[in-house]
């Protein structure tokens, strides 16, 4: 997230409080990508704020022609001049955020934003620029964004892929009230899998598609998030730092206690449809939080690990999701190979933990033995 600045003032968003001085410097962004390439990473997601508010980022896109950049955007700053720049780079894929149809989008983002978004999609399609869409899936828009008509509209506009993200109880004053219900979450998974089989578009579900990447990918297992201050976070939704990229190389941060502990516990659940340590296995993150004592990067980040009401609500949510997803995970043919895989992983993890316990016991016995030998020697002397 190279900037948190934005040209819109969406309901519940605090991006309007940020200024240019809060941006991540261009030389730091260049270093991040160079370090990433050394580790074999060539796909970068650019978030915000509104990334296209920073036109200097086109210098980065052009410099790193061997990388692909998917840029999550509200779409309102993309005009004909911006389209020329995107086309000239040939490695930038805009991902346009949409809340539903006009009513849902304008209620959240402001009057007229939906129509601007539709115009932007037309402009991108006419210029043959590949683009996708992004939806934050909430209790309120769940029915709208899983309606076939909604997807058909995006297909007709030219979108070729899309992302569905569950609304997460993070950020300032986190609450579970807007979270999709377990039943709505289940419906989303079914809709996305159906759409991939029946529509000329490739929607993806950051949670229900977790089995295909064998669970949570955060903490450096497959990705990290770097915020506008340079703090390297395990996940876009987990606002704690493993270190600052301005002070330490990425490889060192990946070996920090927070990141290594998260990877040690992955996958967090033998049911890969419940991959998340925040909403699916909240007790796991609480343990990691107590063990590693990470530095919070957001004002209310610590609440997910110490606010009684929020913790109680997340525990209840997790329990209800588990009831619904148990049969789906155990019986759906599409997940068979992943069920077999997770059994092997869990067995391997069990053996490793047993081995670690034996080694600890052995070291403890050696310490006791040396202590006894020392006591005997002292008595003799």
Rounded to 10 degrees, the C-alpha dihedral 330/331/337/338 comes to -40
Write the CA distances from 139 to 81, 136, 142, 153, 177, integer angstroms: 37, 10, 6, 21, 8
Phi-psi region of 62 (alpha: psi -120 to 50; beta: other; left: phi over 0): alpha
Rounded Cα–Cα distance for residues 294 and 302 (Å): 9
Res 192: pLDDT = 98
Tokens at residue 301, please? 């980040």
Environment class of residue 10 by beta-carbon count within 10 Å: exposed (0-12), middle (13-18) or buried (19+)? Answer: middle
Question: Which residues, other chains included, contact 349 with Cβ-Cβ below 8 Å and sequence gap of 6+?
Answer: none
Cα(first)–Cα(last) distance of the chain, in Å? 67
CB 24 within 8 A of CB 5: no
How many CB atoms within 10 Å of residue 177?
Answer: 10
Per-residue pLDDT at 354: 74
Four-CA torsion 363, 364, 366, 368, nearest 10 degrees: 170
> What's the CA gap between 211 and 271, in Å, rounded?
8
Question: In DSSP terms, which residues pair with 46 in a beta bridge?
Answer: 71
Query: Are 95 and 133 spatial neighbours (Cβ–Cβ below 8 Å)?
Result: yes
Answer whether CATH 3.30.365.10 is correct for domain 26-208. no
Taking Cα atoms as reference points, which of 282, 163, 301 lies closest to residue 231? 301
- CA 83/CA 81 separation, integer angstroms: 5
| pLDDT at site 202 | 98
Residue-wise pLDDT tens digits, 108-126: 889 999 999 999 999 999 9
**CB-based contacts of 283: which residues, under 8 Å, 6+ apart?**
315
Report how far residue 28's alpha carbon sits from residue 70's, in angstroms, rounded to the nearest whole number: 19
Q: Going residue by residue through the chain, which has 381 residues, state the pLDDT in tens, using 9 for 90 and above.
A: 999 999 998 766 766 567 778 899 999 999 999 999 999 999 999 999 999 999 999 999 999 999 999 999 999 999 999 999 999 999 999 999 999 999 999 998 899 999 999 999 999 999 999 999 999 999 999 999 999 999 999 999 999 999 999 999 998 889 999 999 999 999 999 999 999 999 999 999 999 999 999 999 999 999 999 999 999 999 999 999 999 999 999 999 999 999 999 999 999 999 999 999 999 999 999 999 999 999 999 999 999 999 999 999 999 999 999 999 999 999 999 999 999 888 888 788 778 777 777 787 888 788 878 877 777 777 776
Q: Which residue shows structure tokens 């290594």?
A: 260
According to the model, what pLDDT value does residue 206 have?
A: 96
Q: So what's the pLDDT on residue 16?
A: 59
Structure tokens at 88: 């000239």
pLDDT confidence of residue 381: 66
pTM confidence score:
0.89
């Amino acid at each position: 997230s190279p900037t948190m600045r934005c040209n819109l003032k969406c309901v519940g968003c605090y991006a309007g409080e940020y200024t240019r001085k809060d941006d991540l410097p261009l030389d730091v962004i260049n270093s991040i990508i160079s370090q990433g390439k050394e580790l074999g990473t060539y796909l970068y997601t650019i978030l915000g704020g509104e990334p296209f508010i920073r036109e200097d980022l086109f210098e980065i896109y052009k410099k790193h022609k061997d990388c692909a950049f998917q840029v999550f955007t509200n779409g309102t700053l993309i005009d004909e001049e911006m389209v020329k720049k995107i086309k000239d780079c040939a490695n930038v894929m805009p991902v346009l955020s949409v809340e539903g149809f006009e009513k849902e989008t304008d209620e959240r983002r402001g009057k007229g934003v939906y129509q601007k978004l539709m115009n932007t999609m037309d402009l991108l399609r006419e210029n043959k620029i590949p683009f996708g869409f992004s939806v934050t899936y909430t209790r309120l828009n769940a029915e709208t964004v899983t309606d076939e008509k909604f997807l058909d509209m995006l297909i007709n506009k030219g979108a070729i892929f899309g992302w569905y993200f569950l609304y997460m109880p993070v950020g300032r004053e986190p609450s579970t009230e807007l979270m999709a219900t377990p039943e709505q979450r289940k419906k989303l998974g079914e809709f996305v899998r159906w759409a991939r089989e029946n529509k000329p578009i490739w929607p993806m579900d950051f949670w229900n598609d977790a089995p295909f990447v064998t669970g949570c990918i955060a903490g450096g297992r497959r990705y990290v998030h770097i915020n506008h201050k340079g703090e390297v976070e395990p996940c876009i939704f987990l606002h704690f730092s493993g270190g600052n990229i301005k002070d330490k190389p990425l490889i060192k941060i990946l070996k920090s206690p927070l990141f290594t502990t998260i990877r040690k516990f992955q996958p967090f659940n033998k049911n890969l449809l419940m991959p998340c340590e925040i909403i699916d296995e909240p007790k796991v993150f609480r343990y990691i939080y107590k063990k590693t004592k990470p530095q919070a990067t957001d004002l209310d980040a610590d609440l997910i690990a110490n606010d009684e009401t929020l913790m109680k609500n997340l525990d209840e949510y997790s329990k209800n999701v588990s009831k619904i997803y148990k049969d789906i995970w155990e019986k759906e043919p599409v997940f068979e190979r992943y069920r077999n895989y997770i059994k092997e992983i869990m067995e391997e993890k069990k053996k490793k933990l047993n081995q670690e316990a034996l080694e600890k016991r052995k070291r403890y016995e050696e310490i006791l033995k040396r202590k006894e030998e020392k006591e005997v020697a002292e008595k003799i002397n």
